[in-house]
Amino acid sequence: MGVKFAREYSEIIDELAKTLVQISGANDLFDMDEDTWFGMDGDGKHELTKTMADDIFFALGEERSASISVGNGLVEYDKNRHIIKVTEGVKIVLIDLV
């Protein structure tokens, strides 16, 4: 199936990474405790989160994965609206794919 997009892939991944790093509990995906996570510098955390964003992007394209839990948040691919939706509680971020 795959995630369909028309924007530059690197821009989508960068935007998704910047959103994921703000989700509380995102460090759980790396089996990293909070002290280590919060002790990382911004560049290191961003690079690590970009790797996570890349993995999540491709996982969303799998037919059996409509959504993926990330820490206390949820990442969903809406193929009809061509967006990736990231939610945590009442906070929602929409990432346009076109």
Q: What is the mean pLDDT of residues 77-95?
A: 95
Q: What is the mean pLDDT of residues 61-82?
A: 88
pLDDT at 64 > cutoff 70: no
Return the top range by mean pLDDT from 1-10, 44-53, 62-71, 81-90.
Answer: 81-90
Q: Tell me, what's the pLDDT at 12?
A: 97
Question: Measuring CA to CA, which residue among 73, 44, 40, 41 is closest to residue 56?
Answer: 73
Q: What is the mean pLDDT of residues 16-24?
A: 94
pLDDT at 43 > cutoff 90: no
CB atoms within 10 A of CB 38: 10
Full-model pTM: 0.90
Q: Is 17 exposed, middle or buried (0-12, 13-18, 19+ CB in 10 A)?
A: buried
Q: What is the mean pLDDT of residues 65-85?
A: 92
Question: Measuring CA to CA, which residue among 85, 96, 86 is closest to residue 21?
Answer: 86
Mean pLDDT score of the chain, rounded to an integer? 91
